[in-house]
Structure 1
Amino acid sequence: MSHVPFDHLQRYADNVTTDVETAVIEAHLAGCADCRSALGAVAPRVEDLWVAMAPALAIARRRPSPLVRAAAWASPAMVPWVLMTFAVAALAVVTDLLGTELPSLVLLLAPIAPVAGVAAAWSSGMDPAHEIVACTPRAGLYLVLRRTVAVLGVVLPVLLPLGWLVGASPARWLLPCLAFTATTLALGTLVGVRRAALGLVSVWVLLVVGPSLVTATVPALLSPAMAVLWLAAAAVASVLAVARASLFTRLTGDR
């Protein structure tokens, strides 16, 4: 395990570190007795404080429950966006069950359903704690993928039964859904995840959903024959996202 450099400990003891540096150093001190001892050499009073906190730190280091570990994959910022996705999906199901002549709204919206949650999962503009999280050792693509998996793990289990209920087979929307998710991440390295998500959703609604509702026909892009195209798009976007992984830690505040 790497340790906090002595000069950083000195700056921490003198209270001249930035908020982000302070958060990172304190997170390390919570689990490193050697660094706490080193800090005691430059700031005995601070060492006394850490000694007093030892019982609480021991409790904090206990193995968390499975529910807590699962929640650690998600970002609190994405919760309202996932709930909004559920609300839109429920509205689409109600519309489909009314027996209108229009194509299934669940089928049309399922490909872009996770995009809002993915945008919130790693967006500096939506997460107040983004700067602190971005300074952690696991920041970057690793954390982005964890949070993306968390979004898919919540959204897809809801879409599958809803799609079955209205007759929208997963064979028609699952690959497009994964392709949109990967493309959001890939474009996110260029323009920011939030902007990428907004752009993709806008294009899909304007060029696919809108015309499909006007003509009352299912778009060719959602036909089973297009599965190979969607698989290729997902693969290419995934490769681009991995190739530009380091950029996820350098998104600006408005992204």
Structure 2
Amino acid sequence: MTDWHAPEDLVARYADGSLPDPDAWSLEKHLEACTPCAARVSRSVRATAAGAVLSDVRRTVLSDVRRTALATPTAPATPAAPHRPLPVPAPVPLPRIRVLWAAGPAVRGAWLPAALLVAVGAFVLAHGAGFAGARPLLLALAPVVPLAGVALSYGAHADPLHELAASTPSAGLRLVLTRTAVVLAVSLPLLTLAGLLLPSYGGPGAAAWLLPGLALTLASLALGGWLGLRTATAVTGGGWLCAVLAPALAPADGAVSAALTHQASVWLGGAPAQGAWAAAAALCAALLAARRTAYDRLERH
């Protein structure tokens, strides 16, 4: 329930389809939490020409369901069991349902096992194979792990209900940011903890990748308003890997660990580098805020 209720002229314009899309989306969002307004809008829509069509559709659906139920063979009767009252499940709070619906695609699929593989692989290289460049390698790969999670958490390729989600008032940048926050909440502590368990050999600290990872994630989101999330994450993540890993793979055998440590120190070590990443993150956040309306049309097919 809310203290504000939609005025009659707003309800009437919504029912006849003359209300602009931004106002309609705002009203629909209000209806999620206001039962009286939802009932008024429902009555108003039923009074229009569309109401008769919706009533016909409803009758047809109910009729089909009824015929299907009658045509389904029933199981043989069994002796009646003593009557016991069925347990009544506790209602799930609506905010929790919304969070699970919004965050779902961000924590399923191949991304989470891939993040675990990066962390466990670096640990095995350090303690099992004695590879001195395990932590710098982890620091080089860690910033692109959230990018992969973001790319795989939004769009028709990741969410079977994407078309439905994209048409709701909660879609657009708000939904993208919700799923991005879930990705970061999983990957940041996981990869930072993995870095703490690895020997440093004088390289950057285990948390040195956090600001670069945040900046690259925000850059992908800002660029996604033009290119789409998958293309934007491929551009930013690929550019990062080429800049950091490519020079480290060039030295002759035996110098890869030193080259990785040097590259990690150049890109991540020291206050100047971290300050530059912080400034880049703030700039990308400002650009994303300025381009937020682009996400109202993102991935809508």
Give the structure-2-normalised TM-score. Answer: 0.64
Alignment of 1:5-154 (within 5 A): 5-7=14-16, 32-41=38-47, 42-43=51-52, 45=55, 63-64=93-94, 68=97, 70-76=99-105, 79-80=108-109, 81-97=111-127, 98-104=129-135, 105-154=137-186
Tell whether 2:212 aligns with 1:176: yes
CA distance in structure 2 between the aligned counterparts of 1:63 and 1:94, rounded to whole angstroms: 42
Greater share of residues in helix: 1
Q: Is the Cα–Cα contact under 8 Å of residues 179 and 233 in structure 1 kept in the other structure?
A: yes
CA distance in structure 1 between the aligned counterparts of 2:15 and 2:234, rounded to whole angstroms: 45
Residue 269 of structure 2 corresponds to which residue in structure 1? 223
Pair 47,203 (structure 1): closer, same or farther in 2 beyond 3 Å: closer
CA distance in structure 2 between the aligned counterparts of 1:205 and 1:65, rounded to whole angstroms: 39
Between stretches 40-49 and 172-181, larger displacement belongs to 40-49
Instruction: Output one character per residue of 1:129-153: Cα deviation in whole Å (capped at 9) or x when no partner.
Output: 3332222222222222222111111
Q: Is the Cα–Cα contact under 8 Å of residues 121 and 147 in structure 1 kept in the other structure?
A: yes
CA distance in structure 2 between the aligned counterparts of 1:244 and 1:122, rounded to whole angstroms: 18
Deviation at 1:248, TM superposition (A): 1.0
Deviation at 1:47, TM superposition (A): 11
Deviation at 1:121, TM superposition (A): 2.9
CA distance in structure 2 between the aligned counterparts of 1:45 and 1:127, rounded to whole angstroms: 30
Which is higher, the Rg of structure 1 or of structure 2?
Answer: 2
Return 5+ residue gaps in structure 1 as ranges.
9-23, 53-58
What SS does structure 2 have at the residue aligned with 1:100? coil
Pair 40,192 (structure 1): closer, same or farther in 2 beyond 3 Å: closer
CA distance in structure 2 between the aligned counterparts of 1:177 and 1:75, rounded to whole angstroms: 22
Structure showing greater relative contact order (alpha-carbon pairs closer than 8 Å, 6 or more residues apart): 1
Percent of counterpart pairs with the same letter? 35
Residue 246 of structure 2 corresponds to which residue in structure 1? 210
Tell whether 2:217 aligns with 1:185: no
Pair 79,117 (structure 1): closer, same or farther in 2 beyond 3 Å: same
Between stretches 92-101 and 219-228, larger displacement belongs to 92-101
Instruction: Output one character per residue of 1:79-120: Cα deviation in whole Å (capped at 9) or x when no partner.
Output: 222332222332222223221143522111112110011112
Give the structure-1-normalised TM-score. Answer: 0.74
Deviation at 1:165, TM superposition (A): 0.7
What SS does structure 1 have at the residue aligned with 2:209? helix
Residue 15 of structure 1 corresponds to which residue in structure 2? none
Instruction: Output one character per residue of 1:28-70: Cα deviation in whole Å (capped at 9) or x when no partner.
Output: 6x95222333455444957998xx9xxxxxx99862485x454
Query: Which of structure 1's runs of 4+ aligned residues deviate more than 6 A?
Result: 46-49
Report how many aligned residue pairs link the two structures.
230
Pair 86,227 (structure 1): closer, same or farther in 2 beyond 3 Å: same
One-letter amino acid matched to 2:144: I
